[in-house]
Structure 1
Amino acid sequence: MPSASTRKISIMMAALAAVHSGKLSLDEKVTIEKKYQDNDSGTFQHLTPGFWITFRDALVMMIIVSDNTCTGTVADLVGVPEIQRWCESIGMIGTVHRYGIPPRAHPDHALGEVTTTTPNDQRLLLGLILRATTDAAVASRLGTTPELARLGLDILSWQKLKTRLPSQLPLGTKVAHKTGTGARGYMDAGIIFKDGRPLCILTAFTDHVPAALPDGTPGFAAAYHVIGRMARLAYDSLGAVA
């Protein structure tokens, strides 16, 4: 199904693998160019081009506000074919990366026009990231180190878009996640924490969401509510004392 911006989790981790291999550096300067600003997501599309940030900060902005100017920049530096190869190497067999900056698709677009993934692929990826933070062998499978995996998890936990998985959880609940908004649906994939420990991985994807429900409720609002409700049910039920 369409990945929307949940694809950026794997882009980030492929980028961190490139850092570990020495191809890229977290501290290297990345110039924000006008050619990447023709997009609909994030803040850098509105800024005057020509300034620079570090590669690390481009990863942060790509995740926490889903900035597509940074995403296009990162994807070109890593290489879309390399991102795809990396996904396949860790077992994400249902994910196909097709671009850095997404096209402006219509609600009836075909799957072949966009990057696609599966909820299970995102679950696999998030689980590996979590394990890699403390297990060097798992980090090696991702092409990173535990330190880089911890950075990836931290960046996901800094997410500023909280209208889905975190929306019905107790205020301050840690969720390391990445949202996605596409022409056909709304997504969120993340790790929910409770009492300082990871509780569960929840990957919620919606598709063919109408502009409005029969009662007039906007489709996006209904999707957000369902995703938030799923997260709350998991939070209240999992790990509870019988």
Structure 2
Amino acid sequence: MGARERASFRKRRIRRRRARALLALFVAATAAALAWRGLPALEGPAGPGEGQAPVPQRVGAAREPSASPLGAPDPPELTLAGHAYEAVAGELPGVRPRDVGGVHQSVLDPSWASARIEPPGLKGGRYYAVFLRREGGSWRAERSVLIEDQAHPKDVKTLLGGVPEDLVSPLFPRERPARAGSPAARAVQEVERATGREGWEAGEVKSSGPYHRVRVQKEGGGEEAWTYVYLRGEQLAAAGREITSAELPGFPRGLVEEGGMASPEPSRIPPPDPVAQDLPEGEYRERVERALEEAAGVVREHPGVAGFYVRDLKSGAGYGVRPDQVFFSASTIKVPVMIAVYRRIDQGRLHYSDRIVTTEEDWAAGAGWLRWQTPGARSTVEDALWLMIAQSDNVATNALVRLVGGPGYVNEVARSLGAEDTALHWKLSSERAAVPSLDNRTTPRDMALLLAKIRSGEAASRYACREMLGLLEQNNLEWWIEGGVPPGVKVANKGGWLDSTYNDAGIVEYEERPYVLAVFTEYGPGLGEGGRYLQRISRAVWLAQSGKTLEEYGREQEKGETTASGRPSSSGAPSP
């Protein structure tokens, strides 16, 4: 069998498997429904050194420990609430110090704490939970998740391995026992409920009007397991050994020590100004400048944060708005995962026919039919690649990441191709963090670069790159870039969306001027309206690349088809 016949055979086999997978996906989804988101030069930040993870400076990083005890410095040192706010300030639009509350320090492991953050833009009872860990004499944000679907705690808990149970369990509603009468009994009840353990007793109780501080400890005393529980009336206000006035504004000073809160910071999100690089002089440059202004206007209209980057594959020019802004990647991170898998295949360390057996650790919420299967589901590497790209299956992705050697290898592959601000931190899931520095992340320019390397055959072997393009062309879950180009123009893309985050990155195969477009948004409106922002940006970029509106291009195509068919053209002249 020759190379062409083998390729044809492989495509037929993929189509058959795709049909089977779609049928299984339909059955699983139905069952789930019944059971129950002038131009300046383009300059990017310097990347990390060889072999270093591309982690940008994280807000709230550990600082030199103070000689004063935590909670009683002069002037006040930043405390738990201060560090939680500092971790999100400047990146969560509109967040204020007063939006931080519900601070709890773990009694099971006092080196961990959590805070609840409710920025003004979040509606419907949703909030971010930020988990902090002590490093030296300070606190550092380590995890963050969006809490929205509290009826399915497994979706979130799968991302919080290592976080003490008494910080995780209060995130999800359970049937509450009848409230105990006294502040002491109420405090013990809260600790037992959070830890899931009995054997606690109340020690010292201090009160001032409706405010109470109760020391709760293991029965028999001891210094290893104890905490302070703060009550406002019968309501739990906070818990922890190091709670201060920063966490409990309004509490009497006799019950809580003074603590510092971070000052509001200006946004670290760059302004939505157009930028470009290496644009050739002439008509094309003029078109790009006009289209850039139009697309920048769309970015400015977006109620959250948006950015995009275009790479012209004919000239090598690039242009966009916020091309180096770090965004939550959602499922676009599956592009470097795909490249990593094909590199392992090129190395002979993996084969298309190798069997994959899913594990409990691979499970994740979100897209794909494998989430409805029990651990032990079997597939091949080839099938898992198709599920990951065409169906955006998170479980298949996690299994492939495990197979190639973990997130570290995926990040190494991304860096080797120049994508220095792209990082896979956690396994793929429908849950996300409050800020990109705590989540899987990328930039518009990075993602456009990776796709350009696939098209040019540089991301892996040329055969592997052709296979990757074939998979990207089969993606059928996102439609935003395609919505901005004429029907019939081929787009090979990978998108991702989740709770007001909508991303799409694709190769647009326009014969005269092919290009790559990567559009990223977050903290935006709902799915329908949010997707239209991406379509409008895509439409403006199409106009820049082609010089034609969608309608003009469509009329040209119709005219060409009419002429080619032998019927009279629109001018009335006979076709040749």
Q: Normalised by the shorter chain, which TM-score bucket?
A: 0.7 to 0.9
Give the structure with the higher percent strand: 2
Alignment gaps of 5+ in structure 1: 133-138, 211-218
Structure 1 residue corresponding to 2:451, chosen from 101, 120, 126? 126
| Secondary structure class of the residue paired with 2:335 | helix
Give the drift of 1:101: 2.3
Structure 1 residue corresponding to 2:502, chosen from 177, 186, 195? 186
| Secondary structure class of the residue paired with 1:150 | helix
Q: Which moved more, 1:145-154 or 1:22-31?
A: 22-31
Aligned residues of 2:501 and 2:524 also touching (Cα < 8 A): yes
- AA aligned opposite 1:152: M
Aligned residues of 1:8 and 1:62 also touching (Cα < 8 A): yes
Structure 1 residue corresponding to 2:465, chosen from 149, 153, 160? 149
Matched, 1:28 2:354: yes
Give the drift of 1:87: 1.0
Aligned residues of 2:513 and 2:545 also touching (Cα < 8 A): no
| Secondary structure class of the residue paired with 1:95 | coil
The aligned counterpart of 2:539 is 232
Residues of 2 paired with 1:173 and 1:162: CA distance?
A: 16
| Secondary structure class of the residue paired with 2:453 | helix
Give the drift of 1:180: 1.2
The aligned counterpart of 1:207 is 522
Q: Which moved more, 1:44-53 or 1:114-123?
A: 44-53
The aligned counterpart of 1:72 is 398
Equivalences for 1:158-169 in 2 at 5 Å? Answer: 158-169=474-485
Q: 1:233 to 1:147 in 2, by over 3 A?
A: same
Q: 1:97 to 1:162 in 2, by over 3 A?
A: closer
Q: 1:159 to 1:230 in 2, by over 3 A?
A: same
| Secondary structure class of the residue paired with 2:353 | coil
Give the drift of 1:40: 1.6
Aligned residues of 1:2 and 1:182 also touching (Cα < 8 A): no
Aligned residues of 1:190 and 1:203 also touching (Cα < 8 A): yes
| Secondary structure class of the residue paired with 2:546 | coil
- AA aligned opposite 1:90: L
Residues of 2 paired with 1:38 and 1:238: CA distance?
A: 39
Equivalences for 1:10-25 in 2 at 5 Å? Answer: 10-25=336-351
Alignment gaps of 5+ in structure 2: 1-326, 549-576
Residues of 2 paired with 1:238 and 1:156: CA distance?
A: 21
Residues of 2 paired with 1:23 and 1:190: CA distance?
A: 28
Equivalences for 1:91-106 in 2 at 5 Å? Answer: 91-102=418-429, 104-105=431-432
Give the drift of 1:236: 4.0
Matched, 1:41 2:367: yes
Give the drift of 1:34: 4.5
Give the drift of 1:36: 2.4
Structure 1 length as normaliser, TM-score?
A: 0.83
Q: Which has the higher contact order (CA 8 A, sep 6+)?
A: 1
The aligned counterpart of 2:416 is 89
The aligned counterpart of 1:216 is none
Give the drift of 1:103: 6.6
Residues of 1 paired with 2:480 and 2:373: CA distance?
A: 27
Give the drift of 1:50: 3.0
Bigger-Rg structure (1/2): 2
- AA aligned opposite 1:15: V
Aligned residues of 1:11 and 1:75 also touching (Cα < 8 A): yes
- The two structures, once aligned, show a CA RMSD in angstroms of 2.0
Deviations 1:67-122 (A, max 9, x none): 0010110111112111111111111111121022237236xx12232111100001
Residues of 1 paired with 2:347 and 2:371: CA distance?
A: 30
Q: 1:237 to 1:101 in 2, by over 3 A?
A: closer
| Secondary structure class of the residue paired with 2:351 | coil
| Secondary structure class of the residue paired with 1:224 | helix
Aligned residues of 2:504 and 2:520 also touching (Cα < 8 A): yes
Structure 2 length as normaliser, TM-score?
A: 0.37
| Secondary structure class of the residue paired with 2:450 | helix
| Secondary structure class of the residue paired with 1:227 | helix
Residues of 1 paired with 2:420 and 2:363: CA distance?
A: 31
Residues of 1 paired with 2:426 and 2:356: CA distance?
A: 19
Matched, 1:220 2:516: no
Structure 1 residue corresponding to 2:489, chosen from 170, 173, 192? 173
Residues of 1 paired with 2:481 and 2:425: CA distance?
A: 26
Aligned residues of 1:97 and 1:116 also touching (Cα < 8 A): yes
Give the drift of 1:227: 1.0
| Secondary structure class of the residue paired with 2:356 | strand
Residues of 2 paired with 1:192 and 1:170: CA distance?
A: 10
Equivalences for 1:106-125 in 2 at 5 Å? Answer: 109-125=434-450
Give the drift of 1:60: 1.1
The aligned counterpart of 1:214 is none
Residues of 1 paired with 2:436 and 2:430: CA distance?
A: 12
The aligned counterpart of 1:4 is 330
Aligned residues of 1:102 and 1:114 also touching (Cα < 8 A): no
Aligned residues of 2:401 and 2:407 also touching (Cα < 8 A): yes
Q: 1:80 to 1:87 in 2, by over 3 A?
A: same
Q: 1:201 to 1:34 in 2, by over 3 A?
A: same
Deviations 1:22-60 (A, max 9, x none): 221122111234442331222221235433221011011
Identity of aligned residues (%): 27
| Secondary structure class of the residue paired with 1:203 | strand
Matched residue count: 221
- AA aligned opposite 2:423: V
Aligned residues of 2:366 and 2:429 also touching (Cα < 8 A): no
